[in-house]
Amino acid sequence: MSGHLYLAGMMKATINVILIFLLACSVPEQDGLVVKVIDGDTFDMKSGSEKVRIRMFGIDSPERGQAYNVKAKEFTASLVAGKVVRIIVRDQDRYGRIVADVYTEDGAHVNAEIVRAGFAWHFTRYSNNPELASAEQEAKDSRRGLWQDAHPTPPWEFRRH
């Protein structure tokens, strides 16, 4: 019996991965309702009958246990929670999340707004977007959000430890 449960679980997981892959490949742009904000750069979105996890492209916000994590999540929630957003799919990450640029109904680029407010870094390992670079510099110059700290620790360094 446990073998059947294992196979059923594996089949469901495989089907979910295939659905996410097809969504990412066949629908490069779509609208959806944000149903849950996970952290400063990740949320769940309902599009049609599917719920998908979205990771915002080109940014990296503080991790759980890191300074400004809660404020980053709250700021992101203020922009997108319970609202319809448009995503432009860029990729799918190793965790099966859709990596996307996110826009509000009025056209604001959510990824850049989070960086500009000082609640995420421009993730230059994956992005050379000049808008994100400019938004980060603006946040640094104005000492907004995490840039109030003298030497904020980037999430990729925090994750290594």
Per 3-state DSSP, what percentage of the chain is helix, strand, and coil (rounded to 5)? 40, 30, 30
- Identified catalytic residue from 53, 63, 86, 144: 63
- Identified catalytic residue from 55, 90, 113, 136: 55
Q: Where are the beta strands (DSSP E) in 7-156?
A: 29-39, 42-47, 50-56, 59-60, 84-92, 98-104, 121-122
> How many other CB atoms are found less than 10 A from the CB of residue 141?
9
Whether the CB-CB separation of 102 and 108 falls below 8 Å is answered with no
- Identified catalytic residue from 50, 64, 97, 113: 97
74 is catalytic: no
User: Catalytic residue positions?
Assistant: 55, 63, 97
